[in-house]
Structure 1
Amino acid sequence: MAGLRDGELEKAIGREVRAFRRQLDATVAELARQAGLSAGMLSKIENGMTSPSLATLRALSKALNVPVTAFFRRFEEEHDATFVKAGQGLTIERRGTRAGHQYQLLGHSVRARVMVEPYLITLTERSDVFPVFQHSGVEFLYMLQGEVGYRHGNKTYVMRPGDSLFFDAAVPHGPEELRKLPIRFLSVISYPRDEG
C-alpha cells in the first residue's frame, strides 16, 4: 500500500488482538488454543512482528467473538496533518498576487470531501487594494497585524489585530482600504472538493 510505513498495519492489528484478549482476561496460551494457533504465533501477531493471514484473522475473530473488521477499527492508512515552521509556508500565486498580495499556503487536506486552504496573507506598501475576489465556499479571516478595511458585498469592515470575519465567499470581497501597513492576516478558505 502506497504511503504505508513498514509494519504499521501489523502493529495496529496486534494492538487490537491484545486488547480484545485482555478484555476477556485470557492468556496468550488460552487464546492461541481456542484459535488453533501456536502461542508463539499469537505472540508475534500481538507484537506486530508478522502479518496474519485472513484465515488466521477469522480464527481469532471467532475465538474473541468479534468481527474481523474489529481488528482494523483504529487503523488509518494515512493521517492528514501539515506542520509549517514560521515563515516557511509555500508561496502561492493567486489573483491578488498581481496587486502585491503575498500568499503563503499553510496546509491543505488531500483526501477530505471538503477542501480547506489556510493562508497567511501579507500586504505591504507595494500592495494595492483588490476588493473583487469571488469564489465558491466560505472564508474565515483573522487579523494578526496592521489595519484594513475589508469589503464583503456592500459593507466594509475595519479589521484590527484579533478581529475576525467569516463570510460567504461567493459574494465579492477583498481588502478595500489599506489603513495601517504592514497588514498580515490568516485566511482560511473552505469549499466542496468537487467545486475546487
Structure 2
Amino acid sequence: MSEGALSMSMGQLGPRLREARTRAGLSLRATARALGVSPSFVSQMENGKSQPSVATLYSLAQLLGVSVDELFAAEAGAGQGDVTSAAEQESVETGESVSGDGAPRTARSDFGSPVNAFPRQANGRVSVTRPGERARLEMNTGVVWERLATNTGPDFDFMEIVYPPHSSSTTDGTMLQHAGYEFGYLLEGELEITAGFDVFTIKAGEAMGMDSSLPHLLTNRGDIPARGIWFVAHPR
C-alpha cells in the first residue's frame, strides 16, 4: 500500500487498529513496547491524530495477527468518542495518567533513550511540520516533547520541550542517563540542570550541551513554563 493511500484512509484506520488490538488482548503499553514506540503514539494512531509509516503499519498488522488489507477493508468500529473513552479506561488499568486529548501520559523512565520516544521514519530531503500536527509526547510529570522534524532518521531528534512550573523529568527525582549527546536552547523561563555532580541553571537566551551518559535531571523551579528547542544525537 502506498503512503498516499495510507494518508487518505487514516480517518477509518484508527478505530480499526484499536478494534484489532483489543481482539488481540494487547494493552497500549504492550503494543508500544513491541513496536519500539511510545504508548502516546499508539493512542494517537488510534485516534487518527498520527499517521504511521507503511513500515510501522505492516509491523502493527503482523503484531495484531491481521493483514493490512483487512484493516482497510473492514467496517469502521468505534467512533472518536469511544476511542478516547477506551484510552482513559486503559490508563486506569496500566497506571498511566491521561492528557487532555485522551492520549495516555507516560513516565520518562519508561523509555531508556529519547530515540524510543517517537516512531522512526524514512529520511527525506525536506521536512515541514506545523503546530497542531506534530507528534507530541506528554509525560506524567506534565513535561511535553513535540517533534519538530520527521526526517531526522535514527540518529537524531529535533524537538521543542516544555517544562510546566515546578515540574521535573521524573516524578521521584530519579536521575536519567542514555547514550548520546543533547543540546538545548531555552526560549522562555529557566531550567535547572543536574549533570553528574554539576548543577547549573540556564535562562531564556542561554544554551547548553551535555553528554547524556552522565546521570542527569531537568527541573523547572520557577513559576512560569520553561520552553526550549532541543537537539538529541543518538549513537548507532
Q: TM-score, normalising length from structure 2?
A: 0.42
What TM-score does the superposition give when structure 1 sets the normalisation length?
0.50
